[in-house]
Every structure is written in C-alpha cells, then in structure tokens.
Structure 1
C-alpha cells in the first residue's frame, strides 16, 4: 500500500484515487441496462450509482455529490422529463437523457428543458461512454475529480463569468444556473465578442449537436441563454441574430483577475 502526503497528513493513495474518480448517477429502471452502464463506467475509471426512479434519485443525491446524471425518460412514477426540469432548476449538473424515443421533437423537448445531451436506445456503448466523457470534460472535470482549468474572470454589463468554477453571476451578484451547453455558448460568445459566429462554429465549440442531427439544437440553447441574460429575450441586445450568418455577441467584455 502506498501512502502520500495529502496536505493535511498522509492518506492512502487508493483512497485518494477513489475520491478523485468522477461519480455518475444512472437513473434507469431497466436493471440490465443500468448494471451494464455501471460496469462500463467503472471500467473507464469512474464510479457509478444506480437509481430506479425519482425517489431513489433524490435519496442518492442527498447522500452524496455527483458529477453527471444519466437519466432515462420512461420511468415509473415521475418521468425523466420532469426529473430533468427539477435537476436543472437546482443547478448546472450535466444531464444526459437516455430514451427509446427517437423523433426530432422529442430530442428538442429534452434540450429545451435543460438536458445537455440526448442518446436514444438502442445505443452503441462506446459512443455513450464518449458522450459522458465529453460532458465531464466540458463541465470542467478532467480525469481527476475537481481539477479545473484556470482562467481569468470575464465581465460584461455587470455580469461575471468564472470559467474555472463554471459559474455565472448577474449584475445583482446572484448566481445563475446554466446547463453545460449554455455556459459553453456564453463563454464562446464572450471570448469572440463582436465576431459573427456561425451555427457550425458554435456546434464545434459546444458539441451541442451531439444529441442528433438537429441544427436547431443551437437555436434552442441560444433561446434558453437569452432567457437568462437578456432584459427582453424577444428583443435581444446582447446576442444578436445575423441573417444567413449566425449570431454575434455585442456586449463589451473585459478580463479581470480572480
């Protein structure tokens, strides 16, 4: 057994590694699928917990923090769409919806209520693992839990963005909950203020199109972002639509030390 200096004393390296592994909550009532996903995540160096319905999900989340939720739509009792709304209202944890529904409108509804990605059954396990890793990476988690990239603060019109903590505060200093894609979009806009960004460029930056071949997914995320940062989302002043071009961010962005 190896021991290392953890700052507050010596700790078992295996215990430290367990703490640093990303923790995934799988909310799926099909036990066979849930256990297959759990075993695959463990093989990929993550920890996974299972919940068969909303009540079990709530109990798990009260007991421990999670880095991402894989959420089935068709669940007994409260369905996955309702659970997604509740999760998103409570914070910015990445959510990957898992469902047998496959139409574009179903995917769009999932994105509109706050899901970060959307995978339909039957799925390719390798692709699903790549989606999960991508969401963890874009939410700021590397292979070690809690490790974040250091960036300077960004400010515009009284708003403050902390890329390292992936937090957004409004001019009244209230923290605004955002999905992974909403945050990535806002960050991309602020780092390219005044430049027209096409939908293709925004898809490349945020991977918001991974849920399916839906170009409108970018429009959905931008609409949700406008609801959060614009005074009048119907007449946006910060995120302007450029006809046949894409979008442009008009705010005056400044960098500041943390």
Structure 2
C-alpha cells in the first residue's frame, strides 16, 4: 500500500486531505511541520509527500531540499504561491509536482497515482512535470521528444518546439511521467476538469485529435500519443522533461 505523508499546518485542511486519501486506499499520515515530517520519515518512511510551502517552523522549499537529499520519496508541493519563479524554484529543489491552491482533492489523488505508477515500475521518481534544467544528457535529449515544463512546449527529436495551451500541457504532463504506461481516462478527466470521467463525453478524444493535428502540422512529426483500448492514453515515444533556460528551445 503506497505510503503518503501530508505536511500542512492548517489542521482542518490536513485532516480532510488525510481522510480523503485514506478512503482512496493509501496509507496516510499527517504532519504539521518539518520536524513532524522528519519523525514520520524515520519511523514509517513515505512513497509520496504532499508538502505545503508555508510552514510555521521551516519554509517548504527548505524542507523539499533537505528531504530530496536524503529520501527517494516523490514530493508534491501544495501552495498558494502561483508565481512562475516560485514554481521553478520548487521544481529545481526536487519537487515532482507543483499544485496551486485551491486544488481539488481528486487532482491530488490523480497526481499521487501517477507518481506511484512510476515508482512501482522500478524507476526513481523524477520531476513531474519537470526536473531541474540540464538534468537530461545531451545524447538522450537529441534522440527524444522534449517536454518543456517552464515554457509549456513539446518538441520532436528533429523539428521546432510547439507551444501548448494549459489544457494540452496538463494532458501531456500526465503522460510523460511514465512513457509507455497508460493513463486512465478517469485520471485525465480529473486532472483537466476536476470531475469524474463521463463515458458519453468525447472531450478527451477531441483534445487528443486536435493536439495531434497541431503538432504534425507544425513539425511534420506524428505525436506519439496512443489510445489504449479500455484504459486511456499513453505517450509511446522516448521523452525527456526539460526546462528551457533562454525561452528559445
């Protein structure tokens, strides 16, 4: 059973989220500070940490840096800070996901499930959606699609980068966490709309169709997003997540 620690100093929010994730089938514990988190990591360990940035005893950025240096647990930062610089700092310090409050608990659940899928495949968690700039090797980048988390772009191994809308970005961010691993329509729907998937809705399929056309028209390359019958969609090409330093690719 995946082990989750929710670090949040607002007691009501922490208790509600712990209760929700417990009902989702996770082993969940709550902490109100960095010190409590340290104790839980030592006594119980964790697969995923949901971490608030504004903590009473230690800034969440500092906690993330310290935890990343000593633990393989994935980190989801949950914060009211929505600026790009805060987001970039959080990801560079080791966060795997950066969510801005207010956020639906179902989106947190979907992100946790995506991270757990990657962990269960035997891969160490990487930044989701983005690792620190420069993490991928030059050789790996040249032969792979590049998903730019800061500029919100997707780029084929050979060809120009294609800018993404917020919805396109969220969709691809789910898929590139674990290339080849299908993401369910339910998880996609929750991440994009905050609502359960409606089997009668074709909105996800329409999104994928438009995105495929957009990428192929601008690059001449087919976007390697494949439908998985009865499940959802998967990114079936080699992909690295990058963060452009100059905004030009």
Q: TM-score, normalised by structure 2?
A: 0.56
Structure 1 residues 78 and 198, CA gap change in structure 2 (3 angstroms): closer
Q: Per-residue deviation at 1:93?
A: 1.3
Aligned to 2:143: 195
SS across alignment from 1:206: coil
Q: Per-residue deviation at 1:188?
A: 11
**1:96 is the counterpart of 2:76:** yes
Query: How many residues were matched structurally?
Result: 164
For 2:176, which of 171, 186, 205 is the aligned residue? 205
Q: Per-residue deviation at 1:92?
A: 2.4
Structure 1 residues 218 and 104, CA gap change in structure 2 (3 angstroms): farther
Q: Per-residue deviation at 1:73?
A: 0.2
Aligned to 2:30: 50
In the alignment, structure 2 segments of 5+ residues that lack a partner are 148-153, 156-171, 179-190, 192-239
Aligned-residue RMSD, C-alpha? 3.5
Deviations 1:97-133 (A, max 9, x none): 0111111111111111110001111111211211111
SS across alignment from 1:127: helix
Aligned pairs for 1:70-85 (under 5 A) are 70-85=50-65
Aligned to 1:219: 242
**1:131 is the counterpart of 2:133:** no
In the alignment, structure 1 segments of 5+ residues that lack a partner are 1-20, 141-148, 150-163, 168-176, 211-216, 224-240, 247-258
Could you list the structure 1 runs, at least 4 aligned residues long, displaced by more than 6 angstroms after superposition.
185-190
Q: Per-residue deviation at 1:80?
A: 0.6
Q: TM-score, normalised by structure 1?
A: 0.54
Structure 1 residues 113 and 85, CA gap change in structure 2 (3 angstroms): same
SS across alignment from 2:176: helix
2-structure distance, mates of 1:66, 1:196 = 31
1-structure distance, mates of 2:4, 2:138 = 30
2-structure distance, mates of 1:39, 1:122 = 18
Aligned pairs for 1:153-168 (under 5 A) are 164=122, 166=123
Structure 1 residues 193 and 97, CA gap change in structure 2 (3 angstroms): closer
Q: Per-residue deviation at 1:70?
A: 0.4
8 Å Cα contact 1:91-1:178 kept in structure 2 = no
Deviations 1:184-237 (A, max 9, x none): x989998x7852523326854238xx8xxxxxx9433x88xxxxxxxxxxxxxx
8 Å Cα contact 1:22-1:67 kept in structure 2 = yes
8 Å Cα contact 2:146-2:242 kept in structure 1 = no
8 Å Cα contact 1:26-1:70 kept in structure 2 = yes
2-structure distance, mates of 1:186, 1:138 = 18
1-structure distance, mates of 2:37, 2:98 = 19
**1:69 is the counterpart of 2:49:** yes
Q: Which has the larger radius of gyration?
A: 1
1-structure distance, mates of 2:85, 2:17 = 26
Structure 1 residues 95 and 189, CA gap change in structure 2 (3 angstroms): farther
Aligned to 2:150: none
SS across alignment from 1:126: helix
